[in-house]
A and B are shown apart, each in its own frame.
Chain A
Amino acid sequence: MRERLFITTMLLPSMVLLALFYGYPIFDNLRISFTDLSLLGMKKGGNWIGLANYRELFRSGDLGHILFNTFIWLTATSVLLRLLIGLGIALLLNTRALKMLRLASIARFALLIPWATPPIVAVVIWRFLLERNGFVNEALMGLGIVHQPIAFLADMRTVWPSIMAIMLWNTVPLIALSLLSSLQTVPEEYYEAAELDGATNWQMFRFVTLPFLMPALLVLGLMSVFWSFNNFVYVWLATGAGPGTFTNVLATEVYLKAFVDFRLGYSSAIGMVMAAVMGAFGILYLRLVARRQLEETL
């Protein structure tokens, strides 16, 4: 009993801080989402309009398109590619050949550069590269692959792959380095035993490497979902949600409604829906990962 009291007392300051810094903004945002507050009317405040903002959001003709972009492109595709490419790079960095050639450290260092680049800088660099007269177009035309420059960030066929490329360039290194550290914990004897049993490379990967990597993959995957779903920077800076509204996602819609249309109430409603979706992911994360980690620790 005394131990519980001690733990509670020790946790209390953190809980109060959390309530202040997270709880208050969330509840205030919830309150605003039931009003028609406008950026032009911040001094006089908004009027209570109940669920009108939520009704408008769910009846909006653009919602399906925005959800598709957010869930399929921004989240599912980017997370999947991030994990696959990250895993590929980690396996490559862990190969004996690379270690023997003493290239592993150089490669690891090189990998840190894109990761250390702030997202805003990464997008600006890539925008230059993907411009009409940018390096990518010059290279493609120089190699005779295309005859006209491609409008990578304006053509509907290339805009999402281009955004993906920017996101992956900037974020894959973290995944790769995290997986590499997990790979280095796999005991060498397991591979030797598998080799003696006549296992193929694929079987060794499938039955030895992958089980060791699964916890890391799960954590990184779920964390990536959080980073991607809420992400605003890559889409907004690369395309401004265009061409038209082709790359509009929930995060850019929040910005557009709040700071272009000045509808803070409506924008808060979108924010609350995003928070609810992330809350669901959070519960999933707790059930799948955190609880198991806690049980293992205890």
Chain B
Amino acid sequence: MLRLLAAGLIASAAMIGAVRIASADPVTITFRFNDTEEEVRGAIDEFQKENPDIKVELQRIGWKDARNQFLREAAVGEGPDVAHVAQVWVTEMGDAGATLALDDLIQKDPPPNGFADFAAQDLAKGKDGHIYGLPWTTDTWAMVYRTDLLKEAGVEDLPATWEDLRKDSEAVHKKTGKAGFGFPAGSSASGAMWFLANFYWWSHGKELIVQKPDGSYAIGLQPEDVVEAMNYYKQFMDGGDNPQSNLAASDAHDPAIMQALVTGDQAMAAMPPNTYKEVLKAYADANPDKPVPFASGPFPHQDNTKSSMIGGRMLVINANSKHPDEAWKFVKFMASQAVFADYYRTQFPAQTSLLKQIDFGAPLKGFAEQFPYARTWGAYASGPVPIGTLWNATQRAFGKALSGQVSTEDAARELLAEIGKQMP
């Protein structure tokens, strides 16, 4: 009888335990995403369906505050489990101890085709050689054109040199009265002039930060290189083919620029593919029966130089995360082919194998042509000055020059002095 009672008690205890395990609350991880919720909502729902034991709480924050907010939180043991970050932030975040080294997780549970399949691997690593982020998307910039306006201005081929770009922009403005190359000339700390300045320098075989053979870093530009780039872009402002009001715009997706492209008030712009896709969609929505008068093309370059960046986003896991395994499972899922095919269609994946499967289509052909002439930030990201500082200083200097606050010579001198002050 006693034996029976004991067996009954053991069985009951085991059942209670099993029920407890079965009804255990799912692990909740937080994912901080910096673009619109609708871009990832479907993918998150799908992940939760496939992994009922993991609940993903979506947090949203604007790009402008994302980096600072994450660093502040991580420094005091807080922050989301998984964060959406720019590729160029990963090295410094890893060095700051804000993000988790992913080496063990990658080794234990590697992504399909391994880590070697991902672009921008150099930017995913910290100075200690560990991997701190998984490249998620690529957003190489290219030029986009309103072909109808180019035709009206008598421009038959897309410009292949910086001089042609200037000439064609001027021709559009003079012959049609519309804006030519309308770029965001504002000086916001994370604005687009930074990209345009670097594309110009790179295409001429120059770069702002270089790594010397002995491993040390230096400024790779002379004042005259900076002045040349500033003068080049200033011509568009002075000639009126880039409206003065674009001094108040800092981003490629500024509504003033996107709207002008859609309405045909501007012929040329520089942007990442997701912004371009939005422009194409807005045009198609407004003109349902008309053919799309857009084309894209690479930034001017020489055969042996680059003129755009392999930029994009990465996913990182917070060093303070209490659920790194679940977070890694989520990161891997978000980088899978299914997510890009079914949900996150505004972006291109960062895996070479997935990129090869994409049919870019006619309007996006220029982005495909740009890829071989795009590069990562290399020494900029691994160098001693935080990339945000380089970015801000360049933005401010170009803003000063393009608005006429100071001469291009003074702005160039100030820029190099400011960066030089922070080089060891």
Q: Which of B395-424 contact A (CB under 8 A)?
A: 396-397, 399-406, 411, 414
Task: Check: A114 CB closer than 8 A to any chain B CB.
Answer: no
Partner of A260, one of B248, B388, B399: B388
Q: Which of B363-406 contact A (CB under 8 A)?
A: 386, 388-389, 392, 396-397, 399-406
Assess whether B247 is in contact with A151, with CB atoms less than 8 Å apart.
yes
Note all chain B residues with C-beta closer than 8 A to A240.
Answer: 186-189, 250
Assess whether A245 is in contact with B187, with CB atoms less than 8 Å apart.
yes
Shortest CB distance A165–B (Å): 15
Note all chain A residues with C-beta closer than 8 A to B386.
Answer: 40, 261-262
Partner of A61, one of B248, B397, B414: B414
Q: Which of A244-271 contact B (CB under 8 A)?
A: 244-246, 256, 259-262
Partner of B392, one of A41, A243, A261: A261
A-B pair count, CB < 8 Å, reads: 111
Shortest CB distance A236–B (Å): 10
Assess whether B403 is in contact with A243, with CB atoms less than 8 Å apart.
yes
Note all chain A residues with C-beta closer than 8 A to B399.
Answer: 242-245
Tell me the bound Cα distance from A213 to B396 in angstroms: 45
Note all chain B residues with C-beta closer than 8 A to A155.
Answer: 244, 247, 403
Q: A256-B392, A262-B389 are in contact. Are A42 and B405 (CB under 8 A)?
A: no
Note all chain B residues with C-beta closer than 8 A to A244.
Answer: 187, 396-397, 399-403, 405-406, 411
Task: Check: A55 CB closer than 8 A to any chain B CB.
Answer: no
Note all chain B residues with C-beta closer than 8 A to A39.
Answer: 68, 71-72, 75, 96
Assess whether A156 is in contact with B389, with CB atoms less than 8 Å apart.
no
Report the count of interface residues on A (CB-CB < 8 A). 30
Task: Check: A43 CB closer than 8 A to any chain B CB.
Answer: yes
Tell me the bound Cα distance from A149 to B256 in angstroms: 13
Note all chain B residues with C-beta closer than 8 A to A41.
Answer: 96
Interface string of B187-203 (1 = CB under 8 A from A): 11100000000000000
Task: Check: A163 CB closer than 8 A to any chain B CB.
Answer: no
Q: A132-B256, A244-B187 are in contact. Are A40 and B403 (CB under 8 A)?
A: no
Assess whether B71 is in contact with A131, with CB atoms less than 8 Å apart.
no
Tell me the bound Cα distance from A138 to B259 in angstroms: 16
Tell me the bound Cα distance from A149 to B401 in angstroms: 21
Task: Check: A154 CB closer than 8 A to any chain B CB.
Answer: yes
Task: Check: A89 CB closer than 8 A to any chain B CB.
Answer: no
Shortest CB distance B194–A (Å): 12
Task: Check: B95 CB closer than 8 A to any chain A CB.
Answer: yes
Task: Check: B80 CB closer than 8 A to any chain A CB.
Answer: no
Task: Check: A179 CB closer than 8 A to any chain B CB.
Answer: no
Note all chain A residues with C-beta closer than 8 A to B71.
Answer: 39-40, 42, 262
Shortest CB distance A158–B (Å): 10
Task: Check: A79 CB closer than 8 A to any chain B CB.
Answer: no
Assess whether A243 is in contact with B405, with CB atoms less than 8 Å apart.
yes
Interface string of B52-87 (1 = CB under 8 A from A): 000000000000000010011001100000000000
Assess whether A260 is in contact with B189, with CB atoms less than 8 Å apart.
yes
Q: Which of A41-58 contact B (CB under 8 A)?
A: 41-44
Task: Check: A153 CB closer than 8 A to any chain B CB.
Answer: yes
Task: Check: B243 CB closer than 8 A to any chain A CB.
Answer: yes
Note all chain B residues with C-beta closer than 8 A to A150.
Answer: 245
Tell me the bound Cα distance from A241 to B245 in angstroms: 16
Note all chain A residues with C-beta closer than 8 A to B293.
Answer: none
Q: Which positions in B face A, CB cutoff 8 Å?
A: 68, 71-72, 75-76, 92, 95-98, 186-189, 243-248, 250, 256, 259, 386, 388-389, 392, 396-397, 399-406, 411, 414
9 residue pairs bridging A and B, Cβ less than 8 Å apart:
A39-B68, A40-B386, A61-B414, A239-B248, A243-B247, A243-B400, A244-B403, A256-B392, A260-B392
Q: Which positions in A face B, CB cutoff 8 Å?
A: 39-44, 61, 131-133, 149-151, 153-156, 239-246, 256, 259-262
- In addition to A154-B186, A242-B247, 11 A-B residue pairs with Cβ atoms within 8 Å of each other are A42-B76, A61-B414, A154-B246, A154-B247, A239-B248, A242-B396, A243-B247, A244-B187, A244-B401, A260-B189, A260-B388
